[in-house]
Structures are given as C-alpha cells and as structure tokens.
Amino acid sequence: MQIAFYKGKDRVFNQATAWWLRGDYSHCELVLGTNHIGQAICASSSFMDGGVRVKHMWLDPDHWDLVEVGGDIEAAWSWVREHDGDGYDLWGLTGHVARRIKQDQTRWTCCEAVAAMLGILEPWRLDPCALYIVALALRARLPLELQQPATAGFFTPVEAGAHANA
C-alpha cells in the first residue's frame, strides 16, 4: 500500500494547513489499488466529501507525493467497511493546535483515518506532515525493491490516454 500526500496549494485551506504544520502537506489518502482505467483507489476522510469514504482519483505528481508503506490491505479494507460514512472530525482538526481534544471514534481527519487503516496506535496524534515522517520510517523497513518512489501505475488523464494509444 501507499500513502498519497497532498502538496497542492490551490485552496487557501490547503495553504494555511501546510503553513501551520510547517510542512508541505495538508491532506493524505491511503492508496488501496488501481481501477481499470489507472486511477488510484483511495480511502481517507475528507471535509469536502463529508467524512470517511473511498474515492477513485488521478494522483497528479505535481500535487501528490506517494510513499510505499506496506501493511495489511485486508485490514485496511475492513477498517474502511466498518467506518465508511463516519463524519469528518473538525474538532480533531483543531487538535493539531490544541492537543487536549480527544479522538471522537465516529469522526476522523484524513491522517487519523489513514493511520488507523494501517493499524497505527493513537492516530489522533498525527497530522499529515507527521504521518509523512512515519511513512518514511515504515518504507525504510520494507525490502529494498519496494523502497523506490512510487509512480508506476498512476497516470494523469493525459498520460492515461497516451498509454491507451501505445
């Protein structure tokens, strides 16, 4: 499995989040596979999408960094099935500022959901930039052939068309 970290700066919220966290990332997704047209099958929690969900997405390398993390894909899918439709954790988002706010087990931020799908304890402690550091540590434990930057198999719509014509 891979974690996709969003580094896009198109929205003020993403700019402010990355600035506040003193890093490059404002959102993350767990990549659970690809669909028949090459889109990533991602799971996360999103305020814009209303909480925990699965979404098929093009992961444009200009906006996303991918880190291979390994993990138990069946456990991740099981977590998604159990929590699909849970709400977005706005209070948890403020927990990145005020850590005294406890995890609501029916609402999730993106990084809480991704960390929970990977079986990481106390996922409420992580923001997207902290999870990126954890992901790098997880990648370092993988066999060397899996430690390479992950781009193969994920295409932008333009690239997908080029591959279809090849």
Residue 37 phi, psi dihedral angles, 5° rounding: -110, 10
Average pLDDT, the chain: 83
- pTM reported for the whole predicted model: 0.81
CATH topology of domain 2-160: endopeptidase fold (from Nostoc punctiforme) (3.90.1720)
- Domain ranges for the chain: 2-160
Q: Do 88 and 75 contact (CB within 8 A), yes or no?
A: no
- Cα 107 to chain centroid distance, Å, stands at 16
Mean pLDDT, residues 146-151: 56
> Which one-letter DSSP state was computed for residue 146?
G
> What confidence tier does 9 reach under pLDDT thresholds 50, 70, 90?
confident
Decide: helix, strand or coil at residue 40: strand
